[in-house]
Amino acid sequence: MTNVVKRKPRRTSAKSKPAIAVVPDAVETPKTNADLLARREAAVPRGVASAAPVFADRAENAELWDVEGKRYIDFAGGIAVLNTGHRHPKVVEAAKAQEDRFTHTSFQVVPYEPYVALAEKLNALAPGDAPKKSLLVTTGAEAVENAVKIARAATGRSGIIAFTGGYHGRTLLTLGMTGKVSPYKKDIGPFPSDVYRAPFPNVRDGITVEDALTGLRNLFLTDAQPERVAAIIIEPVLGEGGYTPVPFEMMQELRRICDEHGILLIADEIQAGFGRTGTWFAVEHSGVVPDLITVAKSMAGGYPIAGVIGRADIMDAMIPGGLGGTYGGNPVACAAALAAIEAIESEGLLARSTELGNRFTTRFAEIGARVAPYRMWDIRGLGAMLAVEFVTDFETATPDAALTKSVVAHALKRGLILLACGMHGNVLRIMVPLTASDEIIEEAMTIFEAALADAVAEQTA
């Protein structure tokens, strides 16, 4: 007779958990831009503006696809962050390799080699023969704030001079330096004291280099005692202010004035740096060596990192613990930055920037003459940091923000992402990855021409 093992019946109680039923995976409802926009409006404050009403799903080099599968050519580059393009293979590989080792220790707790290696690289790239050191932080505004701290510690002075139209960030201190009210400074003053503003030399507004320098000298006489000024900060090419390069003679005279009065010169290269203008730093075009340089954006090919590069004696002015931040110089971002810099070097992207700048200048002039006569007031910039300014007509040269906005909208409908800028909102800026192929560039210019024609027709209807 076979022995049968009898099992006791399983006891149950009110506390027993019911068995989990296995069901087939639910089919995910395809996301739409409209649905995501509704969720965004409910969850994100309106102060965080988005230029395009579409949501990114994936991207590669100079192309981006939204959640509905529509393809776009990206001439915005995450606001000049992607000089090496979306997902550059070397950048992604370096970041993943670092992620496999560790993602964070805080450099102020347990330091790591990628931070040191990136600082060494930045010191080598920055103009000037004097020994240099670099601080790594996370955002551009953070870099600017730290540059001010360093300048004040090094000089024992407090005053900072910035320029009309300059953009230096959205924190309260950097907004004090930013020279544009709407939308950045509207309704949130007062701003920090000891920040002064000088006129920016701009032919568009009839301000010559001599006018700007006279304004600076008058500032010394009226409000900013030069012996109390720690630093003068300037973008070698205005970013949000309209992609206007500082005339080289202006930069050279600023260097002389700073030397005369013991003032430090800060070049804000956050938008213009890392090959955008055809040199590592835009200030190199003028031959001027600044005391401090702020960097961010395209330094790491899409990863958040920023920094301050400067003369070693100046950078050492702060006591230990006076500089830093929990996430400053994140190891993954450091690895990505080293790879992005290597890609710029090995792929000849500095020369590519100059080539693209020449091509864009020619093509925009041709398109403007053909499609919108007397509407393109200026085509300007350095290298591929290029802009087109629209006006109502050449006789009055009245800024035409409406036409500019319409061009951006029609370009997006046709698959080209563009961004406007400028004090009057009438400037289109080009921030295409330097790695974009000739075919992609030409396709984008064809779209731009059609979008401009649409906008002009709409305006004259």
CB atoms under 10 Å from CB of 157, counted, come to 21
Asked if the peptide bond before residue 183 counts as cis, ω within 30 degrees of 0, the response is yes
What are the tens digits of pLDDT across the range 202-242?
Answer: 988 899 999 999 999 999 999 999 999 999 999 999 999 99
Q: Which residue has the tokens 């330097």?
A: 434
Q: Is the pLDDT score of 6 beyond 60?
A: no
- pLDDT, average across residues 115-142: 98
Render 9-39 in DSSP notation, one character per residue.
PPP--TTPPPPPPP-PPPPPPPP-HHHHHHH
Give the distance from CA 178 to its chain's centroid.
14
Measured torsion, CA atoms of residues 367, 369, 373, 378, in degrees rounded to the nearest 10: 80
Positive or negative CA dihedral for 128, 132, 137, 142?
negative
Q: What's the CA gap between 357 and 327, in Å, rounded?
A: 35
Residue with tokens 């087109």: 388
The string of DSSP letters for 313-345 reads: HHHTTSPTTSS--TTTT-HHHHHHHHHHHHHHH
Strand boundaries in 288-426, DSSP class E: 292-295, 306-311, 376-382, 385-390, 416-417, 419-421
Distance CA 213, CA 219 (A): 10
| CA quadruple 334, 336, 337, 343: dihedral sign | positive
User: Is 279 in contact with 285 (CB distance < 8 Å)?
Assistant: yes
Amino acid found at 349: L
pLDDT classification of 25: cutoffs 50, 70, 90: low
Question: What pLDDT is attached to residue 204?
Answer: 82
pLDDT for the residue 30: 81
Residue 83 carries which DSSP code?
T
Report which DSSP code applies to 400.
-
Question: Which residue is listed with tokens 């831009």?
Answer: 33
Indicate the helix (H) or strand (E) that contains 218: helix 209-222
Domains of the chain, start order: 89-346 (3.40.640.10)
- β-strand partners of 310: 133, 292
What gap in Å lies between CA 27 and CA 84, rounded to an integer?
36
Q: Calculate ∠ Cα 320-142-121, nearest 5°.
A: 70
Q: Which two tokens stand for residue 428?
A: 């289109």
Element (H, E) at 136: strand 132-137
160 - beta bridge partners?
A: 195, 231
Q: Is residue 246 a contact partner of residue 235, using CB atoms and an 8 Å limit?
A: yes
Peptide bond before 190: cis, by omega within 30 degrees of 0?
yes
pLDDT tens per residue, range 151-206: 999 999 999 999 999 999 999 999 999 998 989 998 888 999 999 999 999 988 89
Q: Read off the pTM.
A: 0.92
Q: Are 420 and 410 in contact (CB under 8 A)?
A: no
Q: For 347-377, how does the pLDDT look when each residue is reduced to its tens digit (9 = 90+)?
A: 999 999 999 999 999 999 999 999 999 999 9
322 pLDDT above the threshold of 90: yes
